[in-house]
Amino acid sequence: MRLSTINKLCCPFDKADLSLTTITEDTEKRVLEGWLHCSKCKRIYPIVKGLPIMNPDEYRELSLEKPLLEKWSKHLEGKTVSNFRLIESEQETE
């Protein structure tokens, strides 16, 4: 996915801006793997093979996304994902 495309996306639930975390990109700087994160509702949307997965919660399956989140755990910087939302660790919130 090209960065110019990402800049045109917003959260489908509350229309807030999304931030990008890139895991891998190709030689043309297109994002192949990573996630988009809504700072307002805290939802996380994975990017797999260059495609953002931005389905409504009721059409997503955490069991299918869990292997990706485990693979990306070091990039989550101590945060966890619960109910498709990126949650701060308890140590950071104290």
The strand pairing partners of 31, in sequence order, are 25
For 43-52, the pLDDT digits (tens) are 999 999 999 9
Joined together, the tokens standing for residue 45 give: 């949307």
Question: Where are the alpha helices (H) located in 1-94, listed in sequence order?
Answer: 3-6, 62-71, 90-93
For 68-93, the pLDDT digits (tens) are 888 888 888 888 888 888 887 654 44
Proportion of the chain above pLDDT 90, given as a percent: 46
Between 32 and 91, residue with greater pLDDT:
32
How far are the Cα atoms of 10, 73, 91 from residue 1, in angstroms, in the given order? 15, 22, 34
Q: Domain range spanning residue 76?
A: 3-93
Proportion of the chain above pLDDT 70, given as a percent: 94
| Counted domains in the chain | 1
Distance CA 94, CA 4 (A): 37
The strand pairing partners of 24, in sequence order, are 33
